[in-house]
Amino acid sequence: MGITTLTSREFNQDTSRAKKAASAGPVIITDRGRPAHVLLSIEEYRRLTGTGRSLLEALAQTEDGSDFEFDPPKMGGNWLKPVDFD
Each residue's pLDDT expressed in tens, for the chain with a length of 86 residues: 689 999 999 999 999 999 999 999 999 999 999 999 999 998 888 888 877 666 776 677 666 656 666 676 776 666 667 778 87
Query: What architecture (CATH level 2) is domain 4-53?
Result: 3-Layer(aba) Sandwich (3.40)
Residue 53 Cα distances to 18, 34, 42, 49, 69, angstroms: 25, 34, 12, 12, 17
- Whole-structure pTM over 0.75, yes or no? no
Domain boundaries, the chain: 4-53
**Is the Cα dihedral 14, 16, 20, 26 positive or negative?**
positive
Strand pairing class (34-39; 4-7): unpaired
